[in-house]
Amino acid sequence: MQPDQTALPLDLSPEVAAARAAGQPVVALESTIITHGMPWPRNLDMARSVEAAVREAGAVPATIAVMAGRIRIGLPDADLTALAQTPAAEVMKLSRADLAVALASGRTGATTVAATMICANLAGIRVFATGGIGGVHRGAEASFDVSADLEELARTPVTVVAAGAKAILDLPKTLEVLETRGVPVIAYGQNAFPAFWSRDSGLPAPLRMDSPAEIAGAARMRARLGIEGGQLVVNPIPPEAEIPRAEIDPIIARALREAAEAGIAAKAVTPWLLQRIFELTEGRSLEANIALVLNNARLAGQIAAAM
């Protein structure tokens, strides 16, 4: 059954509403990367530059968040600034499980990849750019910690452009789950599955495509075949911004050890690790993260334009 659009707590910004009505390309952007993924004030710079990158690619950016119990699709700069400035501890990190509760109780929250896909789909937006998706955490055989992002990719028809899954994860297991759940993982312009801060994870990507038009065509074909779910496009970080695996791997290992010792669990794991790796790399991981998001925003804009 189609949800009753009039009853949805869904607000499109005037610019996004006009673009949707005119059939212009729109790219969804998430907000957890702003509130939980990067420190103030670089998070705000990043959010603004990513929107600019989408525009340069010929599409309209729609940053998505939940504010005071409404899904907001496209945030004016004042709201973007307010969200970026709020301490992470005061903003809910929303996924499929808690989106409805947050809306029903009038809360404010940042949307993860999973929640952003749900909201983008409600607004008819088919392409979404982020940094790196969540996946199977290392040690998941004991902790069962698997990001809801993977399940969402299997269910919701949105093409997500990411620089791979975050390298803090168990990448082989993440790829296995994506395969089991029928999610096409398409590497852009290379054979290797990228590893967020590094271009090559050492694992082959299941699929490869070399142009935005091909990726748009695959999304259309999937819809025609009636296959549910989205596509994951993995776009390697630009060479000049990457941190090679040999350099980042020991740092990730150390951060993971420290997280285990500190008893970090559940939703806190990813933000904690990103912050610790930022400290251990003296800020280099953040520069790389910003570069890869910008790169993904450009590609997502081109895919949206080709759709």
In the list 74, 134, 164, 229, the residue contacting ligand PSU (rule: CB under 6 A) is 134
In the list 61, 74, 109, 131, the residue contacting ligand PSU (rule: CB under 6 A) is 131
In the list 19, 27, 36, 184, the residue contacting ligand PSU (rule: CB under 6 A) is 36
Contact between 155 and ligand PSU per CB under 6 A: no
Which CB atom, from 185 or from 274, has the smaller least distance to ligand PSU?
274
Is 149 annotated in a binding site? The answer is yes
Tokens of 203: 């694992």
Cβ within 8 Å of residue 102, ≥6 positions away = 66, 69, 92, 94, 108, 109
Is 148 annotated in a binding site? The answer is yes
**Whether the bond into 41 is cis, omega within 30 of 0:** yes
- Pairing verdict, β 60-67 and 109-111: antiparallel
How many amino acids of this chain bind ligand PSU (CB under 6 A)?
18
Read off the amino acid at residue 149.
D
Is 147 annotated in a binding site? The answer is yes
In the list 13, 63, 121, 147, the residue contacting ligand PSU (rule: CB under 6 A) is 147
* 30 among known catalytic residues: yes
Contact mark string toward ligand PSU, 234..273, x via CB under 6 A = ---------------------------------x--x---
Read off the amino acid at residue 224.
R
Residue 106 DSSP class: T
Classify residue 141 by burial, with Cβ atoms within 10 Å: 0-12, 13-18, 19+.
exposed
Contact between 198 and ligand PSU per CB under 6 A: no
Read off the amino acid at residue 256.
L
Tokens of 148: 């809801």
Which CB atom, from 19 or from 35, has the smaller least distance to ligand PSU?
35
Region of 68 please: left (phi>0), alpha (psi -120 to 50) or beta.
left
- Helix or strand holding residue 245 (H, E): helix 245-261
Minimal distance, residue 166 CB to ligand PSU, in Å: 7
> What is the C-alpha to C-alpha distance for residues 226 and 3, in angstroms, rounded to an integer?
19
In the list 130, 174, 275, 281, the residue contacting ligand PSU (rule: CB under 6 A) is 130
As annotated, the binding site for Mn(2+) includes: 145
Active site residues: 30, 166
Name the residues that contact ligand PSU, by CB under 6 A. Answer: 30, 32-33, 36-37, 112-113, 130-132, 134, 147, 149, 267, 270, 274, 289, 293
As annotated, the binding site includes: 93, 113, 145, 147-149
As annotated, the binding site for substrate includes: 93, 113, 147-149
